[in-house]
Every structure is written in structure tokens, then in C-alpha cells.
């Protein structure tokens, strides 16, 4: 499994899965993120438009992943642990499932 070989990459992929699902929810509601500050805008949209559907803890974690992914991709490699990568994958799976249900997929 990927998370056994490269924790930073596993977390980045988990974050990207959440980001793409959140973008799909934006499109589903008739919106799209601007290219400037796009990741942040997507998370803020989900926080605003789906406050009842996603817990505050889930949305805080989503934003935390955004920061960790940025650090792992642009600043310093090998920052993350196997436990962090595994948890990110689990959270992404839960987020995707909820996003699919909200969109009726």
C-alpha cells in the first residue's frame, strides 16, 4: 500500500481526494472556486454551505490537511508518520462517502 512507502504522498492524495469531492459539491450547488486561493475557497465554501452535513471537526481536519499537504509538497519532505497517513486516508474515505450521498451519486 502507498501509505507504507511514502507517507507524505499518501496524505497528499487523501487531501486531493477530499478537495476534488468538495469541488464537486461546489459544482453541484452551482458554484466554482476561483484560481486564486482556490483550495482555501473550496474549504470555506464547504464550511458555509454544508455546516450541518459535515462536522466542525471534519472541516477543521480538512483545513489542517491543506496545511500539511502544502508543507509536504513545497517545504520539507518526510514530515509525516504512518499513523498520520493512515488517518488521512480514512478521513478522506468518510468525506468522499458523505459527499457522494449529498450529491445523490
What's the whole-number average pLDDT of the chain? 88
> Where residue 81 sits, what CATH number does that domain have?
1.20.120.330
Q: How far apart are CA 34 and CA 103, in angstroms?
A: 21
Q: Which of 9, 39, 7, 29 is nearest to 99 (CA)?
A: 29
Boundaries of domain holding 53: 2-103
Task: Write out pLDDT tens, residues 90-100.
Answer: 999 999 999 99
pLDDT at res. 4? 59
pLDDT at res. 36? 67
pLDDT at res. 63? 94
pLDDT at res. 6? 85
Q: In percent, how much of the chain has pLDDT > 90?
A: 63
Domain count, the chain: 1
Q: Which grid cell sits at 1?
A: 500500500
| pTM greater than the 0.85 cutoff | yes
pLDDT tops 80 at residue 82: yes
Neighbouring C-beta atoms of residue 65, cutoff 10 Å: 25
Amino acid at each position: 500500500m502507498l501509505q507504507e512507502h511514502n507517507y507524505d504522498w499518501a496524505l497528499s492524495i487523501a487531501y486531493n481526494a477530499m478537495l476534488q469531492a468538495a469541488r464537486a459539491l461546489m459544482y453541484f450547488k452551482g458554484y466554482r472556486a476561483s484560481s486564486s486561493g482556490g483550495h482555501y475557497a473550496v474549504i470555506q465554501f464547504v464550511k458555509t454551505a454544508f455546516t450541518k452535513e459535515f462536522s466542525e471537526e471534519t472541516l477543521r481536519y480538512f483545513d489542517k490537511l491543506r496545511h500539511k499537504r502544502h508543507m509536504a509538497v513545497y517545504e520539507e519532505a518526510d514530515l509525516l508518520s504512518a499513523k498520520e497517513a493512515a488517518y488521512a486516508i480514512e478521513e478522506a474515505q468518510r468525506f468522499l462517502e458523505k459527499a457522494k450521498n449529498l450529491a445523490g451519486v
